[in-house]
Structure 1
Amino acid sequence: MKWAHVRDNWPAFFDAIVEKWPEADEGDLEEIDGDQRAFITYIARVTEQDVDETKDEIREWLAGEIPADIVMDPIHDNHSIRLSSKYVGEGEDEFDDDARFGDDDEVPDDGD
């Protein structure tokens, strides 16, 4: 993953960050607000590591996949939907339901 994924979905990464660096505090992470330099400095301070060592550790962490709970985050989903708009015909809304995937006019059967 790239830092842009982290920055653009910053609050959704809090659990993954705390899992990787248990010394991190969510309140402090909120203040960092996705700023990469501030994050590196913060992690170096709370883990008592050298900044270069911290950069390497963060680089290794970024080499992994985006955690599934972040991929499923509503902010990420809405961003993906907006990106899909280039495949939606002119005059259509990418957030509209697609009738091809079900009958939106049918009343659900309540089992009676």
Structure 2
Amino acid sequence: MKWHHVQANWPAFYEAIVEKWPEADDADLDEIDGDQRAFVAYLSEATGQEPEEIREEIREWLRGEIPSDVVMDPVHDNHSIALSSKYVPEGEDEYADDARFGDDGDDDDKDDD
């Protein structure tokens, strides 16, 4: 993941941040509001580590998974759908209803054998 994912969904990362850096506090994270420089400075002060050590920890942390509440966010989901458009045949809308696939809860099409 990239920092822009974190910055765009800052509150959704609080749990993951506190899990990695237990010294972090939600109220302080609110004030940081996704600013990476402020986050590095804050963690450096909170942990007593040098800023370069914190930057390396953040780089390592960014290699992890995006939290599920970020993945399930409609903005992220719509972005993923838009990216999938390269796999959708020309003339077909990637946002179109998929009713023709039979998974929209329409029970009328079931065979009664």
Which residue in 1 is equivalent to 2:102? 102
Which residue in 2 is equivalent to 1:41? 41
Question: Does the 8 A contact of 1:2 with 1:62 survive in 2?
Answer: yes
Question: Does the 8 A contact of 1:9 with 1:76 survive in 2?
Answer: no
Instruction: Give the partner amino acid of 2:45.
Output: R
1:53 Cα deviation from its structure 2 partner: 1.0
Does residue 102 of structure 2 align to residue 79 of structure 1? no
Percent of aligned pairs sharing the same letter = 64
Instruction: Give the partner amino acid of 1:57.
Output: E
Does residue 66 of structure 2 align to residue 66 of structure 1? yes
In 2, Cα distance between the equivalents of 1:99 and 1:70? 27
The 1:13/1:88 distance shift into structure 2, 3 A limit, reads: farther
Deviates more, 1:4-13 or 1:62-71: 62-71
TM-score normalised by length of structure 1:
0.71
TM-score normalised by length of structure 2:
0.70
Post-superposition, which runs of at least 4 consecutive aligned residues in structure 1 deviate over 6 A? Answer: 88-91
1:79 Cα deviation from its structure 2 partner: 3.3
1:20 Cα deviation from its structure 2 partner: 0.7
Which residue in 2 is equivalent to 1:32? 32
Which residue in 2 is equivalent to 1:50? 50
Which blocks of at least 5 consecutive residues in structure 1 are unaligned?
A: none
Question: Does the 8 A contact of 2:23 with 2:47 survive in 1?
Answer: yes
* 3-state SS of 2:43 partner: helix
RMSD in angstroms over aligned alpha carbons? Answer: 2.8
In 2, Cα distance between the equivalents of 1:88 and 1:33? 40
In 2, Cα distance between the equivalents of 1:105 and 1:63? 38
Which blocks of at least 5 consecutive residues in structure 2 are unaligned?
A: 109-113
